[in-house]
A and B are shown apart, each in its own frame.
Chain A
Amino acid sequence: MQTPIGFVRERLPISGDRLRELTNEPVPHHLKRWWFALGGTPAYLFVVQIVTGILLAFYYQPAPGTAYESVRSITEDVAFGWFLRGVHRWGATLMVAAVILHQMRVFFTGAYRKPREINWMVGMCLLLCTLMLGFTGYSLVYEQLSFWGATVAANVAEGTPLIGGMLKRFLLAGDTYNDHTLPRFFILHAALLPMALAGLVVLHILIIRLQGVTELEFENEPEEEKQSHFNFFPDHFYTELMIGLLLMILLSALATIFPAAMGPRADPLTTPEIIKPEWYFYVAFRWLKLFSGTAAILSMGFIVFTMFFWPFVDAWIRRRTRFPEASVWIGAIAALAIIGLTLWEASVAH
């Protein structure tokens, strides 16, 4: 007679060998260095955000009259609500940080170069999607920052030549913030952007599988490790599993020690004296203070455009100039500028 385990095994033929076969992606040896395994971090955090986000949506009510009270209720009344909201909020911060760190690693190791230009562009879309998720996320709390952040963002969008007015109306569902604005942000945050992000992640990983992981070599690497590979399953899977557990510990600690707070309720008639977006928008916020409206918007658009097509710009520089490694210097200057502007914005009230 067949045992229950035998019954299941026959219908779900899963074993270590089968998994090894299914995920048979040769992983280059440099991924034994944990610093190079950062790509999986935002993907893991995305899963954490989906799980905690679905749980938060059980109690959240996306309407101007009820949003703030429902978030307060989640934070103060519902069992473990403070914890899940804290994990979601810190997960967003860490996800943005992880995406930026991953992108910097890819940039400074030149992993975006031919033939991986398209995957860099997919990565740029992932970065923009992540930032938009962050923006729409803190807009949902309906505190002062949510309201005025959305108003400023809509007016920034309006500064775009030709299509600005349309963009603003599309974002706010009207000429000003109104009853339809918050549901719009909610659908963007909880449905459209996560679906887009999930699709892009699948595409990102698919392209990695098609092209293989970039091979990196190090000067101090033993000869036998160069060009050597190991299996995705179980070796790299275990690394990712451990990174996942460490992230959960970190998120739980952050959510407990620095719980997600709430600012004052949105007041459409009073802009607060000091208002700042989340830290990852400090650069853009400072930029808007440094340059006049349209100039700031056009220059930011140009920078994002250049970043998007950087693999081709870099190829042109390498082909046409005598500075083949110029990208490293440009990247270092850009990184320093971003850090400098962020610190500048963080250190002053206005």
Chain B
Amino acid sequence: MAEAHRNETAADSEGVDRRTVLTGASGLAMAAGLVAGYGAFGAAAARYLYPSEPAKKRWLFVVEAARMKSGDSMVFRAPDGASVAIARQSESGNVGDFLALSSVCPHLGCQVHWEGAANRFFCPCHNGTFDPSGRATGGPPGEAGQSLLRYPLKLENGLLFVEVPDVKLAATDPVKPNSGEVC
């Protein structure tokens, strides 16, 4: 019967018959629905797999300003594991006295260390050098103009704070075996 109807419709029209148009249109609508539906899911899944935006930052207390004299320095360990070299360079009493530098070399990520005799930071991996303000002076970072990352500092009521990425730390307490009793 369907066959007969198809023949009749085909005979009625010269061009494309109505059944073909409807079949094509409904097929397209269904394909669009499928692509939109599963595509949205796929997009959400891709976004889920892509790491979240850079961690939010947080001000953390470092030290009482009075406890550091000009020329003193200390290493502050940020929650994300990065070590921050903090130095006092003058004693005018404002935040500009202090400098907080990342100890990660901007070239390929090795740890720099302070060389007091040469008055510079030195990276042992590829001989990168930086002046006391963190500006690259030699080696690959010097050629590329990659200075040490500076962390923002603030002074409040005589207390020094540094702004570092906020990292949520996972609980790490291991489970203790229970007695096995059940009620």
A interface list, Cβ under 8 A from B: 51, 55, 58, 61, 64-66, 68-70, 73, 77-81, 83-84, 148, 151-152, 155, 174-179, 241, 245, 248-249, 265-266, 268-269, 271
Contact = CB atoms under 8 A, between A and B. Distances in A.
A152 B52 CA distance: 38
A213 to B, nearest CB: 23
Interface in B45-83: 45, 47-50, 52
10 contacts: A70-B170, A73-B168, A80-B48, A152-B182, A155-B182, A176-B178, A177-B175, A178-B175, A248-B38, A248-B41
Contact of A65 (B170, B179, B183): B170
Given A55-B49, A248-B37, A248-B41, A151 B178 contact: yes
Minimum-distance CB pairs A-B, first 3: A64-B175, A268-B178, A69-B170
B48 A268 contact: no
Contacts of A177: 175, 177-178
A78 B46 CA distance: 12
B171 A69 contact: yes
Contact of B47 (A65, A79, A249, A268): A79
Contacts of A68: 171
B48 A64 contact: no
Contacts of A152: 182
Interface string B16-47: 00000000000000100110011001001101
Interface residues of B, number: 27
A288 B80 CA distance: 49
B172 A66 contact: yes
A78 B49 CA distance: 8
A58 to B, nearest CB: 6
Contacts of B116: none
Contact of A79 (B38, B50, B172): B50
A70 B52 CA distance: 14
B181 to A, nearest CB: 9
A291 to B, nearest CB: 16
A245 B29 CA distance: 13
A177 B167 CA distance: 30
A65 B174 contact: yes
Nearest to A84: B48
B3 interface: no
Interface of B: 30, 33-34, 37-38, 41, 44-45, 47-50, 52, 168, 170-180, 182-183
A155 B182 CA distance: 8
Contacts of B171: 65-66, 68-69, 265
A240 B44 CA distance: 24
A164 to B, nearest CB: 13
A139 B45 CA distance: 24
Contacts of A269: 176, 178
Contacts of B177: 174, 176-178, 268
A81 B48 contact: yes
Contact of A78 (B37, B52, B183): B52
Given A66-B170, A151-B180, A151-B182, A78 B48 contact: yes
A77 B176 contact: no
Given A66-B171, A179-B174, A269-B178, 8 more contacts: A58-B48, A64-B174, A65-B171, A70-B170, A73-B168, A78-B48, A151-B180, A151-B182
Contacts of A148: 182
A178 B33 CA distance: 48
B172 A245 contact: no
A80 B44 contact: yes
Nearest to A154: B180
A269 B48 CA distance: 35
A77 B168 contact: yes
Contacts of A58: 48-49
The winner among A79, A175, A245 for most chain B CB atoms within 10 A is A79
B169 to A, nearest CB: 9
A5 to B, nearest CB: 17
Nearest to B169: A69
Contacts of A178: 175, 177
A211 B44 CA distance: 41
B105 to A, nearest CB: 30
Contact of B176 (A70, A174, A241, A268): A268
B76 to A, nearest CB: 25
Nearest to A168: B180
Nearest to A87: B41
A22 B179 CA distance: 58
Contact of B175 (A83, A84, A179, A271): A179
Contacts of A268: 175-178
Nearest to A182: B175
A94 B174 CA distance: 34
A15 B30 CA distance: 18
A68 to B, nearest CB: 7
